Structure 1
Amino acid sequence: MAETNENTIQHELKTRHVSMIALGGSIGTGLFLTSGASVSQAGPFGAILAYLIIGIMVYFLMTSLGEMATFAPTSGSFAEYGNRFVDPAFGFALGWNYWFNWAITLAVDTVTVGLVAQFWLPDVPSWIFSAIALFLIFLINLFSVSTFGETEFWLSLIKVVTICFFLFIGVLAIFGIIHSNTDVVRNLSVGQHGFVGGWQGVLSVFVVAGFSFQGTELIGITAGEAKDPRKSVPKAIHSVFWRILLFYIGAIFVISALVYYQDPRLMSAADSGNVMMSPFTIVFKNAGIAFAASLMNAVILTSVLSAANSGTYASTRTLYSLAKKGQAPKIFGRLTKHGVPWASLLLTMCVGLVAFTSEMKGGNVVYGWLVAASGLTGFLAWMGIAIAHLRFRKAYVAQGNDVNDLPYKAKWFPFGPIFALFMSLVVIFLQDPEAFAHWEWDKIAVTYLSVPIFVIPYLGYKWSKKTKVIPLQDVDLTGKNK
């Protein structure tokens, strides 16, 4: 594959691409399938409160990332900011951890594509659909970043249109314009005025909400290839935050109003991934839309493809950033003539092939462990963003700069990143606290496998390279110290 003479990433993502990638990255099966389980666990307003708190946390993370990304736009931002503002060992561990997360996500999503496609063609082996999906994602990411951006724009738009249609139908049903025998007042007032299980119920939904919002940090990755990041990133942050809150809070309210919280179908969708039990499908069918199941299956299929597409993009750019920093083999920093890190893409695709081991003897065990290993990497990335921002702002001021001169200034500093850091730790701990109460080591190992996968590379790199936390006066704000 030919390489660019400059060997630099090309800036081809438009403002609408950046906004839709960030929006689409946070809307997926977490909303379409598991939102019903949240209502069952915490009640209507308990679920809304949990998503609202996590949504605010994500907003602070996005503003933190936005401040750094507009000041120093770079592809593979998390690793780069960790390297420059905290400690090279921190950036090394953060980068490889994030690459691993999205590479495994690609494998998971390609398996899911096969299972979802069997809804229409149950007699066709699922691996055939997985192979087709993997090949298409490879082609989309191979040609140019504009091809990726345009594809992701339309895939995300399908999800957005579906949610808008769902909210429209839901409002009509709530006000009785569409025939419905649903007792809306009864559904919304269950438990203690819409709360079930008290604070424990709300806390239990934090975990689900946290996973649902993962992907919003893609805005930091896209900044390095945006045509005008100082314009597109702030615009994306503000518009995406309000749209996410509207979509999630609005959808959960509609589900709560039209489906009783103890309806067994709400839990079944989360446990089995059954599209027939999706809360969206239930509401559509109750409204008399006969093709509801096929519609939602098609939407879920596009959601999974969108996640796999975005994950491939994020992982290749992260690996590219590591290579340019000398923290990965140099070959992963080479680009095609279209500015695509081809070697990074190939390695990520190889991890995606792990999807096919689930069809082989013993493959499910390997596959299960890989999924477990990537479980908390998204939250670790969020913690990395918060820590990097705290260090960046302190270094910026310590070196005699005025924060009012920043292209984009995060609000409520330092409360924002501190709150995001604290909530990330809370969500991580809440993964399986009972396992610690009884010291069930097998559950602890599966649930928290991501943590040592971050810590061990961090300590190993720190020991081998003798790195230290960078003094504030020596933090590289210009990016010239490569």
Structure 2
Amino acid sequence: MSEDKNFVYAKEEPVPGAQDSYEMSSESNKDHSSPKSVSAWQDFKDSFKRVKLEEMDPNLTEAEKIAMATARSPLQRHLKNRHLQMIAIGGAIGTGLFVGSGTALRTAGPAGILIGWGLMGTMIYCVVMAVGEMAVAYPVSGGFTTFAVRFLDESLGFALNYNYMLQWLVVIPLELVAASITVNFWGTPPRYRDGFVALFYVVVVVINFFGAKGYGEAEFVFSLIKVVTVTGFIILGIVLVCGGGPEGGYIGGALWNNPGAIPGANAGQRFKGVCTVFVTAAFSFSGSELVGLASAETENPRKVLPGAAKQVFWRICLFYIISLCLVGLLVPYNDENLIGASSVDAAASPFVIAIKTHGIRGLPHVINVVILISVLSVGNSGVFACSRTLTALAEQGYLPKIFAYIDRKGRPLVATVFTCVFALLSFIAASDKEGDVFSWLLALSGLSALFTWLGICLCHIRFRRALAAQGRSTDELAFTSPAGYWGSVYGAVMLFLILIAQFWIAVWPLGGGGSAEAFFNAYLSFPVLIAFYVFHKIWKRNWTWFIRAKDMDIDTGRRVVDIDVLREEVAEEKSVLASKPFYYRVWKFWC
């Protein structure tokens, strides 16, 4: 690998041209004053100045310039191991699990939610393992959002990136309004909704202006609360199922017999009911890929990211499957409390219903607090994800260069400001047209998570093909996906089938009554994705359909020491692991 086209550097040192340039620009803007003569206020003001980077070699190709720009981005690495671990474990625990599972239970029954979340869980495991492998090798600005441009096709990468950016851009105002609705659970008059929107808006904005460290610390606290809540419910749920509640009486699997495991008069209705769960489950897993996006701002991606990615297994098994299994044992799918409640109302939460109907009072208030925290957590993640995606798009030349503005504290300042300004749309909560506006905004990004995960699987498949085509092997990778190549194939096939199932449900919804408006509310993001793809093809006159495996650039921006040295280190680590007891090797495989 040539020095002018690749970053090859030792251990986990900062990218050449990024941190060095930051230090030089900091010195040049201090007017050579001594540290004592510079006031704290001046330091604060200077921290918002742009980091200056060295000019790139003009002889590089366009693809190499894009790879180099994202690889040398001066985002600072403030996320620690505990941040990524908690983001991975609790990052996707939110309203999709606490409240959305109620709708899924009503339409698919206790068996249907286990099938839906189980299948989606195996797919998500493969996706996160794939993104972990690539993010460890390429901890670049924008993370996995840059991989499609490199491994698939520039136009497809453009479409997927814009789709992912829209997903989080729309989610932020939606979640701020949802938080204000959640507060209404305590009898807060609706006229105060905008006041709570303003309060939550300030909280999310302030957190993100502390940069990656602020996001990491906030998510650490938010996720810890969610994990403790779900763990507590699992313990209490087991007690209730076994008859240890205030009302006593062994419950077991009685509700699987009456009213039944899956609602529906015939096999076709039951199958369609299970299919409706996939989108709800996908919504609940949204954010699982954030560990890959955060790779550029992690202190030691090689050591931290693999463990964080593997935590998805425990989240799927312990927090989703076990808790939903207990919900299905404690709440019948025809419970009247599952119908007609708000999507962010604790009264609609099957977790609350499960405990209230078995003689325990007072818990809805606790669950509502956790739902509120979950909503704020998603809004916080939205600002982080959207701002980093906007920065990566600008670094790739798909947005004005001003969006690539990163200050001396490593904050993508302009992208964050733009994201926060768009979030002001949340104040439409006071309008009578609020429901119409937000339903169409949500439709714009309704399937974005599925397209993102499909893109990740395809990128991993093509990345492995490129290694093989160029005579390389996985021995030069610091971390390889335990699910491997075929795990990504399985994930891609599953996602393709889920998109087909969602199309079927959008055209012929459960219970009938399909319409054009209902279809576009459910499937609008697909024609939007196609529109972005076609626009880029015409704009760039890019008439190639995919990048050939032998032509892929799999070196620029790699975080490696020396391939031979890396192979020796990996071989030594495997040798040490092989000498450990069996239970320890099993633990390390999954964690």
Question: Same-fold call, TM > 0.5?
Answer: yes
Per-residue deviation at 1:68?
A: 0.7
Which residue of structure 2 lines up, in the alignment, with residue 186 of structure 1?
254
Per-residue deviation at 1:165?
A: 0.8
Q: Kindly tell me: are residues 147 and 120 of structure 1, through their superposed partners in 2, closer, same or farther at Cα, counting changes over 3 Å?
A: same
2:326 is equivalent to residue 254 of structure 1: yes
2:50 corresponds to which letter in structure 1? E
Q: C-alpha separation between the residues in 1 aligned to 2:195 and 2:352?
A: 27
2:40 is equivalent to residue 3 of structure 1: no
1:180–1:286 CA contact under 8 A, matched in 2: no
Which residue of structure 1 lines up, in the alignment, with residue 553 of structure 2?
476
Q: C-alpha separation between the residues in 2 aligned to 1:165 and 1:177?
A: 15
Q: C-alpha separation between the residues in 1 aligned to 2:435 and 2:107?
A: 29
1:71 corresponds to which letter in structure 2? A
2:91–2:219 CA contact under 8 A, matched in 1: no
Matches within 5 A, 1:43-442: 43-120=109-186, 122-123=188-189, 125-181=192-248, 183-190=251-258, 194-197=261-264, 198-269=270-341, 272-360=343-431, 362-431=433-502, 433=504, 435-436=506-507, 440-442=515-517
Q: C-alpha separation between the residues in 1 aligned to 2:253 and 2:518?
A: 40
2:120–2:282 CA contact under 8 A, matched in 1: yes
Per-residue deviation at 1:396?
A: 1.7
TM-score (ref. length: structure 1): 0.94
More helix by share: 1
Q: C-alpha separation between the residues in 2 aligned to 1:172 and 1:304?
A: 29
1:46–1:201 CA contact under 8 A, matched in 2: yes
Deviates more, 1:174-183 or 1:99-108: 174-183
Per-residue deviation at 1:191?
A: 6.3
Q: C-alpha separation between the residues in 1 aligned to 2:449 and 2:379?
A: 15
Structure 2 residue matching 1:337: 3-state secondary structure: coil
2:439–2:521 CA contact under 8 A, matched in 1: no
Which residue of structure 2 lines up, in the alignment, with residue 39 of structure 1?
105
CA-to-partner distance for each residue in 1:370-410, whole Å, 9 max, x for gaps? Answer: 11111111111111111111111111221111123311212
1:85–1:475 CA contact under 8 A, matched in 2: yes
Which residue of structure 2 lines up, in the alignment, with residue 21 of structure 1?
87
Structure 2 residue matching 1:146: 3-state secondary structure: helix
1:137–1:308 CA contact under 8 A, matched in 2: yes
CA-to-partner distance for each residue in 1:70-112, whole Å, 9 max, x for gaps? Answer: 1111231232101111122122111111111001000100110
Q: Specify the structure having the higher radius of gyration (Cα).
A: 2
Q: Kindly tell me: are residues 290 and 78 of structure 1, through their superposed partners in 2, closer, same or farther at Cα, counting changes over 3 Å?
A: same
CA-to-partner distance for each residue in 1:315-367, whole Å, 9 max, x for gaps? Answer: 11111111111111111111122111011111111221111123235454333
Q: C-alpha separation between the residues in 2 aligned to 1:190 and 1:408?
A: 48
Per-residue deviation at 1:162?
A: 0.5
The sequence identity of aligned pairs, in percent, is 35
* Runs of 4+ deviating beyond 6 Å: none
Which residue of structure 1 lines up, in the alignment, with residue 531 of structure 2?
456
Q: Kindly tell me: are residues 434 and 313 of structure 1, through their superposed partners in 2, closer, same or farther at Cα, counting changes over 3 Å?
A: closer
Per-residue deviation at 1:427?
A: 2.4
2:193–2:429 CA contact under 8 A, matched in 1: no
Q: C-alpha separation between the residues in 1 aligned to 2:457 and 2:356?
A: 43
Q: Kindly tell me: are residues 268 and 164 of structure 1, through their superposed partners in 2, closer, same or farther at Cα, counting changes over 3 Å?
A: farther
2:426 corresponds to which letter in structure 1? A
Relative contact order higher in (CA < 8 Å, ≥ 6 apart): 1
Per-residue deviation at 1:141?
A: 0.7
1:472 corresponds to which letter in structure 2? A
2:405–2:413 CA contact under 8 A, matched in 1: yes
Per-residue deviation at 1:412?
A: 4.2
Structure 1, gaps ≥5 residues long? none
Q: Kindly tell me: are residues 128 and 439 of structure 1, through their superposed partners in 2, closer, same or farther at Cα, counting changes over 3 Å?
A: closer
Per-residue deviation at 1:195?
A: 4.2
Q: C-alpha separation between the residues in 1 aligned to 2:458 and 2:312?
A: 23
Deviates more, 1:146-155 or 1:283-292: 283-292
Per-residue deviation at 1:287?
A: 5.0
Structure 2, gaps ≥5 residues long? 1-47, 54-72, 265-269, 559-591
CA-to-partner distance for each residue in 1:242-272, whole Å, 9 max, x for gaps? Answer: 2232111111121122222321223445x65
Q: C-alpha separation between the residues in 1 aligned to 2:219 and 2:440?
A: 29
